């Protein structure tokens, strides 16, 4: 697994011709450290990185809070139609993103969100994704019900049990979701292309890297 990373690092220190030289050389001679300076200054890469970090932070907060709220409700609160609503939620996992892409774009375009980061962040505040809810729900269901029962006896509210007891115990699942959210947001090229392509000042890293293609 480390070889592709080493080759990537080696190629970053080569000239364009050196990358395709055969037989390949692992140690560039001489190393082109100026490549890093050129990459940082040719395009406003710092701006792309800042935009990406802003979207990342918003999405992490949105997903962890909203997904955990929904998952706790499905796992611990017995409300009418709980299983039916959960089945409908799981059914949305079978919808590929390409199916909902055009309807979403039409909606966001009509409300004036194109060329803003809102389409890339706001939807995550409403549930955080079916897979994330499913993962957290299953984790919450493995926690002993006696913990919540003891808290009820002590006068704790549902919100207190969620925030003070269940959420701290769900740190492994929350960390997993945070990693998945980070990877998905960092690599989100299509979303940035649809909603940010007309305004270079809002480019993310995924979209900005396409400017280096030759």
1 and 68 co-located in one domain: no
Q: Is 23 exposed, middle or buried (0-12, 13-18, 19+ CB in 10 A)?
A: exposed
63 and 163 co-located in one domain: yes
Closest to 52 measured CA to CA, from 204, 169, 156, 211:
204
171 and 131 co-located in one domain: yes
Looking at residue 32, the DSSP 8-state letter turns out to be -
Calpha distance 68→110 (Å, rounded): 31
57 and 139 co-located in one domain: yes
**Average pLDDT over the chain, rounded to an integer:** 90
pLDDT digits (tens, 9 = 90+) for 181-203: 999 999 999 999 999 988 888 99
Total domain count, the chain: 2
pLDDT given at position 110: 95
Place of tokens 């966001």: 108
pTM higher than 0.75: yes
pLDDT given at position 213: 67
94 and 200 co-located in one domain: yes
Percent of the chain with pLDDT over 70: 99
22 and 56 co-located in one domain: no
Yes or no: say if 203 and 194 are a contact pair by the CB < 8 Å rule: no
9 and 66 co-located in one domain: no
- pLDDT-derived band at 208, boundaries 50, 70, 90: confident
Mean pLDDT (whole number) for 114-136: 93
* Tokens read off for 43: 């395009």
Q: Is a pLDDT exceeding 60 seen at residue 214?
A: no
Place of tokens 């305004």: 199
198 and 103 co-located in one domain: yes
Determine the structural domain holding residue 63 and report its residue range: 44-212
60 and 27 co-located in one domain: no
37 and 48 co-located in one domain: no
Q: Count of CB atoms within 10 A of residue 71's CB?
A: 28
52 and 38 co-located in one domain: no
pLDDT digits (tens, 9 = 90+) for 127-140: 888 999 999 999 99
Closest to 177 measured CA to CA, from 68, 16, 37:
68
How far from each other are the two terminal CA atoms of the chain, in whole angstroms? 27
20 and 67 co-located in one domain: no
Calpha distance 56→121 (Å, rounded): 9
- pLDDT-derived band at 166, boundaries 50, 70, 90: very high
């Amino acid at each position: 697994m480390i070889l592709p990373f080493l080759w990537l690092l080696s190629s970053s220190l080569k000239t364009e011709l050196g990358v395709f030289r055969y037989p390949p050389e692992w140690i560039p001679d001489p190393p082109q450290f100026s490549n890093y300076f050129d990459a940082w200054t040719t395009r406003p890469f710092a701006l792309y990185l800042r935009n990406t970090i802003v979207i990342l932070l918003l999405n992490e907060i949105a997903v962890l809070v909203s997904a955990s709220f929904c998952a706790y409700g499905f796992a611990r609160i017995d409300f009418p139609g709980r299983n039916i609503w959960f089945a409908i939620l799981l059914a949305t996992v079978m919808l590929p993103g390409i199916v909902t892409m055009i309807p979403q774009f039409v909606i966001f375009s009509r409300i004036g969100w194109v060329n803003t980061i809102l389409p890339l962040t706001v939807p995550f505040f409403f549930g955080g994704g079916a897979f994330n809810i499913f993962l957290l729900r299953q984790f919450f269901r493995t926690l002993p019900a006696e913990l919540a029962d003891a808290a009820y006896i002590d006068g704790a509210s549902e919100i207190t049990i969620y925030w003070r007891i269940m959420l701290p115990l769900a740190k492994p699942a929350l960390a997993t979701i945070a990693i998945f959210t980070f990877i998905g947001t960092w690599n989100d090229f299509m979303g940035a292309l649809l909603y940010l392509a007309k305004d270079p000042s809002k480019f993310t890293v995924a979209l900005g890297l396409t400017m280096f293609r030759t």
